[in-house]
Structure 1
């Protein structure tokens, strides 16, 4: 069994909207989250004067999508002041990581920056406004292992602070071509399919802790039905506008993985009309989500 972790988050003013200091017990790293309008307060934090990596979070004004800039610096607070002076208005929150024992060197943080930018782009959850992936430092093998462990802990704290942008939506490296078959790639208990009369397997999704992830290469029907809710119509329209649903002859194709809040929302986005997602999504054995959930509860596994 994987070892658990204990996280401690200190709210400096008793509010989750203010400055937060987060740490994992028995780890020398630390994270600090600060709203843009509280930035001057960091002048009193010695943690902000150390070398580290930082993330500037905001919303893209044109498409409303979450946006991040990833950087490294030998003095976090001084670098953040430069971002303010440069009139970079897109970001409203910064989270930065430094080390309590001051053992992060310039080479270490350059390595972290390069890896983190690459991970964020691959995950594809946020718009990454770094123009290029920075060059990765050459480190001794033991230091690389230490920095990879540092990154794993960063993922934990970033998730606890509301940002999972470094984590891929699914753990499926090779996306099924939405053809239901018996290959090893598709033998996954969390893979589900939607069928239509004109296609043996129309869409494929993976059930995750966050919801239903419609996998890239899945298809979607063209026409919105009268039963489609305004919210789900807006989701479909936004996916089309953002190029995540691409017109291909007589259907749309998902160009990337798309997270839906529920099985019914995922089904509505695929089909263009409202439907009970727990009944229409089925696994390799033609068992619906509803059937599997009922069996799980019956067997005391839920």
Structure 2
């Protein structure tokens, strides 16, 4: 599936219990879908909603034992009944996002299709750990039903990032889109220190280290625990692989910040705004400050 062209749209988030982190209902203009978002502690209230008695697809989110983002994707004829089974069956999750249709447009075949497509996207992106052990193929749909399901999926993929879920978008596609944007093209940035050699690009919601970058195999004695754990997680998932005494990135990977990316590469604390530089040697900090100065002159 190719990403739809970005266009202005309106998304409504209704705070069902009046608090920003409470039970939320998400709707999008000109879309028949609806998302129910609830923390695990709010599940009792969520299960009382009529949406949970309908067919749909859902995502459970949480963390692995070492703090990495983790998810589980599922589908159900009756969302509430299936999600209740995960209270005792799965310990990792802290939040559920359940999608259904406001016009009964989802049936068993379409929710199975959406589940399979989401799992395929998460596996390809390899940005989050996935709790599912099976990756089913999408069930066969006729041409019209397949088009409807893909449209529903595309709208879901617009909503997920607003909820802090970037598991379904590959870092490669995001870096490519940003770098070819004629309005705000992204420069390729470089890191070369402490034996690490990396290339990267800034993206809208993070910082992408590009495939083929080399991280130092050794770690400093003062490395933060979260940095050590992130390196271990990336090695376990095959994002980092041993090569020539170092660790090579086997795919593009999106980090939350340039400093986290730099720290993973060098095996210790690093200021990403000064560690990453363009081809002329200007630091990311200098580039960002120059962009801000240019913007202020235009205002």
- Please, what TM-score do these two structures have when normalized by structure 1? 0.80
Alignment equivalent of 2:189, drawn from 165, 189, 192:
192
Query: Any stretches of 5+ residues in structure 1 without a counterpart?
Result: 175-187
**Corresponding residue of 1:79:** 82
1:159 aligns with 2:161: yes
**Corresponding residue of 2:135:** 133
1:5 aligns with 2:9: yes
Alignment equivalent of 2:207, drawn from 212, 220, 224:
212
Counterpart-to-counterpart distance in 2, 1:24 and 1:96 = 15
1:239 aligns with 2:243: no
Q: Which moved more, 1:255-264 or 1:95-104?
A: 255-264
Deviation of 1:265 after TM superposition, in Å, equals 4.0
* C-alpha RMSD of the superposition: 3.0
Deviation of 1:277 after TM superposition, in Å, equals 3.5
Counterpart-to-counterpart distance in 2, 1:98 and 1:155 = 14
> In the TM superposition, what whole-angstrom CA distance separates every residue of 1:77-104 from its partner, at most 9, and x where no partner exists?
12122333x5332222211100000111
Alignment equivalent of 1:252, drawn from 243, 247, 250:
247
Runs of 4+ in 1 over 6 A off after TM superposition: none
**Is the 8 Å Cα contact of residues 68 and 230 (structure 2) preserved in structure 1?**
no
Q: Secondary structure at the match of 1:171?
A: helix
Deviation of 1:117 after TM superposition, in Å, equals 0.6
Counterpart-to-counterpart distance in 1, 2:277 and 2:12 = 40
Counterpart-to-counterpart distance in 2, 1:234 and 1:28 = 41
**Corresponding residue of 2:33:** 29
When residues 92 and 274 of structure 1 are mapped into structure 2, their CA distance, relative to the original with a 3 A threshold, is closer
Deviation of 1:32 after TM superposition, in Å, equals 0.2
Alignment of 1:1-302 (within 5 A): 2-61=6-65, 63-84=66-87, 87-171=89-173, 189-195=186-192, 202-224=197-219, 230-231=223-224, 234-236=226-228, 238-240=230-232, 242-243=234-235, 244-272=239-267, 276-284=271-279, 287-300=282-295
Deviation of 1:43 after TM superposition, in Å, equals 4.0
Deviation of 1:37 after TM superposition, in Å, equals 2.9
Aligned residue pairs: how many? Answer: 282
Judging by fraction of residues, say which structure has more helix.
Answer: 2
Q: Secondary structure at the match of 1:118?
A: helix
Counterpart-to-counterpart distance in 2, 1:163 and 1:210 = 11
**Corresponding residue of 2:180:** none
When residues 197 and 92 of structure 1 are mapped into structure 2, their CA distance, relative to the original with a 3 A threshold, is closer
Counterpart-to-counterpart distance in 2, 1:261 and 1:241 = 15
- Please, what TM-score do these two structures have when normalized by structure 2? 0.81
Deviation of 1:127 after TM superposition, in Å, equals 1.4
Q: Secondary structure at the match of 2:157?
A: helix
